[in-house]
C-alpha cells in the first residue's frame, strides 16, 4: 500500500494500533528524535481547513501551520495514510518533507498533479 524512500540517517519503528491501522515513527539515528509520524490504515479524518492536493498522482489533503504539517493521502474513513510532524528545525523538516514527497500510496484514488 505504501512505499517510501527513507534516508540512511533515519530509522523506522512500527506499532500496531488495531487490526486495520499501523503507526510508523521516523527517528533520527543520531539521537532518536522523532521526525515524522505516519498512520496507515482505516480511520476518519476531519479535513476542514485542509487544502486539496495531488501527491504523486494520488488524491490527498494538506494542512500547514506555523510549525506543523499534516498530509492525508487516500480515502479517509476507509483506507488512508496520514503524515504528520511538528516543531522541527528547518533541516529536519526538509528531511521529513523529502520522505513525504517520495510517498507512493498504491491504492489511493488517482488525481492529476
Sequence-distant (≥ 6) Cβ neighbours of residue 72 within 8 angstroms: 45, 47, 50, 60, 61, 62, 80, 81, 82, 83
Residue 83 domain-assigned (yes or no): yes
Please indicate, yes or no, if residue 98 is contained in any of the structural domains.
yes
pTM for the whole thing? 0.92
Count structural domains, the chain: 1
pLDDT per residue rounded down to tens, the chain (113 residues): 799 999 999 999 999 999 889 999 999 999 999 999 999 997 778 899 999 999 999 999 999 998 899 999 998 878 899 999 999 999 999 999 999 999 999 888 899 86
Whether residue 24 is contained in a domain is answered as no
Q: Would you say residue 81 lies in a domain?
A: yes
Amino acid at each position: 500500500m505504501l512505499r517510501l524512500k527513507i534516508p540512511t540517517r533515519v530509522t523506522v519503528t512500527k506499532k500496531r494500533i488495531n487490526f486495520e491501522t499501523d503507526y510508523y515513527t521516523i527517528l533520527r539515528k543520531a539521537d532518536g528524535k522523532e521526525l515524522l509520524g505516519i498512520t496507515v490504515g482505516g480511520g476518519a479524518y476531519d479535513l476542514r481547513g485542509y487544502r486539496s492536493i495531488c501527491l504523486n498522482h494520488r488524491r490527498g489533503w494538506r494542512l500547514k501551520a506555523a510549525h506543523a504539517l499534516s498530509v492525508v493521502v487516500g480515502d479517509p474513513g476507509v483506507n488512508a495514510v496520514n503524515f504528520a510532524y511538528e516543531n522541527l528545525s528547518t533541516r529536519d523538516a526538509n528531511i521529513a518533507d523529502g520522505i513525504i514527497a517520495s510517498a507512493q500510496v498504491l491504492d489511493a484514488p488517482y488525481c492529476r498533479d
